[in-house]
Structure formats: C-alpha cells, structure tokens
C-alpha cells in the first residue's frame, strides 16, 4: 500500500465523523489564524498544574483545556473578500420563498471549515468536564440538484496537507456529507435511536413556509432530518431547526459509549465571510420507548469561511468519474424510503462498514474503470439491502 493509499484510508476513517461539522482532523498549528487559540497557560505555584482559560469553565488543567483531535496541518489559505449583508441575491428577492432559496444556494462555494465543540455540563454524580474538540478541513459545496422546491447540496473534502518540512502533499479528494432541502415537506424519516429511522408525517399546516433539511452520511446513508424556517430580518438570514434526534458522530461514538442520541436543535446563519452552523445538543442515553435520561450537554460552532485559494477544483474530476454511481446510491435510498415506514441499520456486514463498500466501488471508477449503470445500480441496492434490518437490537449504528 503506497503513501497516498494509506492517507486516503485515514481520511476515509475520519470522514465518518464529518456530518454537519463533526470532524476528526485538527490543524492545531494554525489555530491562531482562525480565532481558536486559547490564551497562554497560567503558571501556578510549585506543585500545582499549569492551567488555561476555557470559555464557560474558567481555568482548567492543561490536560482538560487542550482540545482533542488530530495533528495534521493544512497549507495556508487566502480568504475571499467579505460580502455586505443581506446578500444581494437575498435582498433583491421579492417573495419569502425566493429569499429562502437564495440563502440555501449561498451555502455553495469553497471553504476553509473549522469545528468546535464544548461540553457545558454533566447531569450525573461524579461528572468531570471533558476536553473540548477542534478540527479543520478545506471543503467544496456544490449543487447536485435544484428543482425549485428541492435543493441538494454535496460537500466534498479537498485536503491540502503541509508536511513537517514545509512541503505540500498532493491534494486528497473525498466525498463528504450531503444536505437536502425540501420546501413544505410533509414526509420525513427521523432518527429514533438504536440505529433506527421511521416515517414522520406532517400536516400541510405544520410545514407551511418551512424547509426540511435532511443530512446524509458520507456513504449517503441517512443521518437526521428536521423541519425549520428561514427568517430574514434586516441583515440577518437564519434557519433554525426544530428539536430533533441525531446519531452520535464519530468524534463521540469513538470515545463514548454511555449515551446514544444527540437531542437538540441546530441553526444556520449567513455571514459576510460564509456561514455558521450552530449546534445545541443534549446527550440522551437512549432512544424512543424509554424514560429520558441525559448525561450532559454540549455546544458546537462550525465555521464555513469562503476561500479563493488553494484551489478545490480537484473535486470536479472525482464527480465526473463517480457521480453516476453515487446517483444510483441515492436512488436506492429513495426506494427504501418509499417502501419502508421504519428500518434499522447494522453497523457492519462481514466486518466492514457500509461506507467501505461504497467507497471501494467508487474508488475503482475514480481510478479509471468504466461505469456500467446496471451493474452499479445492482451493487448499490444489494449493498444497502444487506445493511437493513428490522431488529434495532442488532443495529449498532
């Protein structure tokens, strides 16, 4: 296995956590450039540990104040010129529906992203604060489909790593998460805990003027879906989702096994430099049908800052070669959603996760193998079917 293959494998593992801002790759050496560095540590008297200020906690020992995450370094970026708010496309739109569409489409572009999560409290005896979480990525967001009342946005990682000697590695491209926006959506599938999703019908009155945001994993399997409204007031455009449940991201399920559901709301806000995704999460032990029990609470801020360099155009050839296959995967999931009111997903089949099967197939196409639509459709359907189960007990998602 060559160096590029090794690094792509590491990126694939990290990508499992990259939904709606749950990353595993950290750029600690560049923190100061993006406003995420903590003040210098405060040296205590002899015999006492060095501390650092953490927002909401005060001074904590360095072993708790230092964010967890990776240690990779990205190449320097050049930011785009900040824009006046409200954005011109939102300002000139006459109807609320058109303003909403303009806001959603403004999420498209090239970004330097950073992801920050902080546990704010514990709700059990003996609780001690955990380490904050920080990571980074360079990421392209493109339109996959726009039908007016439905907009599908695909995120793609295009990572430019800087080596310790200052040299730059060849850019690495990887399919990332997807967000689908549907206007006045009456038919949702929402997460219920224990690797399970179920149909959630809404009345036309309930969803009037709202948009659902459905978020999909890197392998196009479901993650969560919620209804919310865009509100445009003065120079502020923000979408706030209802209280909803989400599976744990990799940054949590790789280190925690004492809770299984993130319960809370999230918000997307347009900024002069891009957009921000805020998260407000309660750590719920189990899903539906059980008495609620919570371990604690966390806040998250994911920053998407528009860049003009480095170029993220290497995403284009990847989608030219693999896009047809991923369309088959999306179509296969549409079939599942139309047929099943409820389903659960296994975490692995024959020792492999779902993303491994799909990424392996897409990887062959990316390497130059020709695309066979009937073969691709068959593989996508059979792979997804092998992970479906009616038994939540066997689902460890």
Q: CA separation (Å) from 161 to 131, 155, 165, 192?
A: 25, 19, 11, 38
Alpha-helix runs per DSSP H in 171-211: 204-207
Task: Answer yes or no: pTM beyond 0.85.
Answer: yes
pLDDT at residue number 301: 98
Which residues have CB under 8 Å from 379's CB, separation 6+?
Answer: 328, 361
Distance of CA 87 to the CA centre of its chain: 24
Q: Give dist(CA 15, CA 217) in Å, integer.
A: 9
Asked if residue 293 lies in contact with residue 286, where contact means CB atoms within 8 angstroms, the answer is: yes
pLDDT at residue number 255: 87
HEC sequence for 238-256 = EEEECCEEECCCHHHHCCC
Instruction: Read off the DSSP letter of residue 125.
Output: T
Those residues of the chain that have pLDDT short of 50 are 1-11, 13-41
pLDDT at residue number 304: 98
pLDDT at residue number 27: 33
Phi, psi dihedrals of residue 17, rounded to the nearest 5°: -100, 5
Q: Give dist(CA 151, CA 153) in Å, integer.
A: 7
Q: Give dist(CA 305, CA 114) in Å, integer.
A: 8
CB atoms within 10 A of CB 210: 20
pLDDT, one tens digit per residue, over 28-41 is 333 323 223 333 44
Q: Give dist(CA 195, CA 218) in Å, integer.
A: 16
End-to-end distance of the chain based on CA atoms, in angstroms? 29
User: How is 263-320 classified by DSSP, letter by letter?
Assistant: EEEEEEEEETTEEEEEEEEEEESS-TTS---EEEEEEEEEEEEEEEES--TTHHHHHH
Q: Give dist(CA 367, CA 90) in Å, integer.
A: 41
pLDDT, one tens digit per residue, over 138-156 is 999 999 999 999 999 999 9
């Amino acid at each position: 296995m060559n160096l590029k293959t090794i690094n792509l494998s590491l990126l694939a593992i990290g990508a499992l956590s990259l939904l709606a801002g749950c990353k595993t790759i950290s750029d600690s050496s560049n923190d100061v450039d993006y406003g995420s560095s903590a003040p210098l540590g405060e040296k205590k008297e002899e015999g006492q540990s060095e501390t650092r200020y953490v927002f909401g906690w005060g001074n904590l020992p360095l072993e708790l104040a230092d964010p967890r995450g990776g240690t990779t370094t990205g190449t320097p970026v050049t930011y785009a010129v900040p824009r006046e708010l409200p954005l011109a496309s939102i300002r000139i739109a006459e109807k609320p529906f058109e303003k909403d569409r303009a806001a959603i489409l403004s999420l498209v572009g090239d970004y330097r992203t950073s992801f920050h999560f902080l546990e704010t409290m514990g709700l059990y005896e003996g609780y001690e604060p955990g380490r904050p979480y920080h990571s980074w990525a360079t990421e392209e967001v493109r339109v996959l489909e726009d039908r007016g009342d439905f907009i599908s946005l695909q995120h793609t990682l295009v990572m430019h790593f800087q080596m310790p000697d200052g040299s730059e590695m060849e850019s690495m491209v990887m399919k990332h998460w997807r967000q689908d926006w549907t206007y006045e959506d009456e038919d949702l599938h929402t997460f219920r805990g224990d690797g399970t999703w179920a149909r959630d019908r809404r009345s036309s009155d309930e969803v009037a003027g709202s948009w659902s945001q459905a978020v999909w994993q890197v392998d196009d399997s479901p993650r969560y879906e919620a209804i919310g409204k865009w509100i445009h007031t003065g120079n502020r455009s923000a979408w706030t989702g209802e209280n909803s449940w989400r599976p744990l991201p990799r940054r949590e399920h790789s280190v925690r096994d004492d809770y299984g559901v993130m319960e809370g709301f999230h918000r997307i806000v347009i900024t002069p430099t891009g957009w921000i995704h805020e998260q407000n999460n309660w750590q719920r032990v189990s899903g539906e049908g059980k008495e609620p029990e919570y371990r604690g609470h966390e806040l998250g801020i994911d920053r998407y800052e528009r860049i003009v360099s480095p170029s993220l155009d290497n995403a284009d050839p990847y989608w030219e070669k693999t896009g047809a296959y991923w369309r088959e995967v999306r179509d296969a999931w549409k079939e599942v959603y139309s047929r099943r009111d409820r389903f659960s997903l296994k975490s692995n089949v024959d020792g492999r996760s779902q993303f491994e099967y799909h990424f392996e197939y897409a990887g062959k196409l990316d390497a130059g193998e020709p695309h066979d639509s009937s073969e691709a459709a068959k593989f996508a359907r059979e792979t997804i079917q092998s992970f479906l189960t009616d038994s939540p007990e066997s689902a460890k998602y």
